[in-house]
């Protein structure tokens, strides 16, 4: 048998590779780009409860030097750039929660109802994602509302004004109802707030008899307690969800964009009705989450909108939840 050197072997391998190669003209992409994402929902467990995050897309409103009342716009832009975010607009995702307690299907906030499309064309994915997660609106038992901003309540109704969840009881914070449904407050409201007042009345006026109002601190569904979080709005609440010794906090709009308002908790956004109270609430809630090492869900966090809060020298930070292929 003739001896083959390493050089002979390499040369032979290259020759085989050249002979077996396809002409460049026959290699091409057979399918055009799809341009769409898959259904966006994510499940995890809190004790015996199964929690499902339902994504409703994203809004990218422009921001300017009036966006944060008590910080220089350059500092806001630097904070966004440090998080690899655009510096001329604010990424605001929408993510509501469905909590399956084993006996009840409970929703926390309802998304935009597909009614933000004119200003947020990348929103309005909630219905498709809710269905893809295997849920039927008729099966929802309870809806808990954190506050009355449109992106949290519009999903209660379709664009035609019909109830989207016909069999669900609707629970709202009593102080929130008293603020937005009060004619005196509407008359005194700044022009920028009037659309939110009118929208709350569009959603609730014809179903007012059936809307239940709760006091912050009450258990509003099995294992779910509403916690006072005033500031963003006068009756804003967050929800503590507890099952089998495990707990999490659904923060709603306590922080909005985490790279701004978790890392800089004292900053006051122009959509906080009472900026100082919102900042005080933010620190109180984030202190609890970090001290107790609780999982948190932020309605406007990057999807799947959950993680853990850690303390830093100047504030806090968000450690995102690790994606799991198995629900646990």
List the structure tokens of 308.
Answer: 């853990």
Q: Which residues contact 312 (CB under 8 A, 6 or more apart)?
A: 263
- Tally the domains of the chain: 1
Q: Among 77, 59, 48, which Cα is nearest to 300's?
A: 59
CATH code assigned at 45: 3.60.15.10
Residue 182 lies in a domain: yes
Examine residue 297 and state whether it is found in any structural domain, yes or no: yes
Residues 237 and 226 sit within 8 Å (Cβ to Cβ): yes
Sequential pLDDT tens for the chain (328 residues): 555 555 554 444 444 444 455 455 555 667 788 888 887 999 999 999 999 999 999 999 999 999 999 999 999 999 999 999 999 999 999 999 999 999 999 999 999 999 998 999 999 999 999 999 999 999 999 999 999 999 999 999 998 999 999 999 999 999 999 999 999 999 999 999 999 999 999 999 999 999 999 999 999 999 999 999 999 999 999 999 999 999 999 999 999 999 999 999 999 999 999 999 999 999 999 999 999 999 999 999 999 999 999 999 989 999 999 988 889 8
Query: Which residue, 60, 54, 78, 185, is CA-closest to 122?
Result: 60
Answer whether residue 27 is part of any domain.
Answer: no
* 171 in a structural domain: yes
3-state secondary structure of 261: helix
DSSP for 129-189? Answer: HHHHTT--GGG--EEE-S---HHHHGGGB-TTS-BSSTT-EEEEEHHHHHHHT-HHHHHH-
- The answer to whether residue 243 sits within a structural domain is yes
Residue 6 lies in a domain: no
Stated pTM of the model: 0.90
**Around Cβ 169, how many Cβ atoms within 10 Å?**
16
Nearest CA to 128 among 38, 63, 4?
A: 38
In this structure, the number of other CB atoms found within 10 A of the CB of residue 3 comes to 5
- Domain residues for the domain of 247 are 39-320
Asked if residue 162 lies in contact with residue 155, where contact means CB atoms within 8 angstroms, the answer is no
* Residue 16 placed within a domain: no
């Amino acid at each position: 048998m003739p001896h083959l050197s390493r050089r002979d072997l390499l040369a032979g391998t290259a020759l085989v590779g050249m002979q077996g190669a396809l002409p460049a003209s026959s290699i091409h992409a057979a399918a055009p780009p799809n341009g769409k994402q898959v259904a966006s929902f994510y499940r995890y467990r809190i004790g015996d409860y199964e929690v499902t995050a339902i994504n409703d897309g994203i809004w990218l409103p422009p921001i300017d030097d009036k966006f944060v009342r008590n910080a220089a716009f350059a500092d806001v832009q630097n904070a966004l750039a440090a998080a690899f975010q655009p510096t001329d607009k604010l990424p605001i995702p929408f993510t509501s929660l469905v909590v399956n307690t084993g006996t009840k299907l409970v929703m926390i906030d309802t998304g935009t109802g597909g009614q933000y499309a004119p200003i947020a064309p990348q929103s309005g994915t909630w219905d498709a994602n809710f269905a893809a997660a295997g849920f039927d609106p008729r099966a929802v038992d309870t809806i808990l509302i954190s506050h009355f901003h449109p992106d949290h309540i519009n999903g209660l109704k379709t664009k035609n004004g019909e109830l989207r969840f016909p069999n669900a009881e609707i629970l709202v914070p009593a102080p929130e109802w008293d603020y937005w449904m009060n004619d005196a407050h509407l008359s005194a409201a700044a022009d920028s707030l009037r659309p939110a007042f009118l929208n709350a009345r569009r959603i609730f006026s014809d179903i007012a008899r059936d809307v239940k109002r709760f006091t912050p601190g009450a258990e509003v569904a099995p294992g779910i307690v509403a916690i006072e979080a005033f500031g963003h709005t006068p009756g804003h609440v967050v929800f503590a969800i507890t099952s089998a010794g495990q707990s999490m906090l659904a923060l709603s709009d306590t922080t909005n964009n985490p790279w701004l308002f978790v890392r800089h908790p004292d900053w006051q956004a122009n959509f906080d009705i009472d900026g100082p109270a919102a900042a005080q609430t933010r620190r109180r809630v984030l202190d609890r989450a970090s001290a107790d090492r609780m999982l948190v869900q932020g309605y406007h966090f990057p999807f799947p909108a959950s993680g853990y809060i850690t303390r830093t020298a100047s504030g806090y930070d968000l450690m995102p939840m690790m994606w799991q292929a198995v629900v646990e």
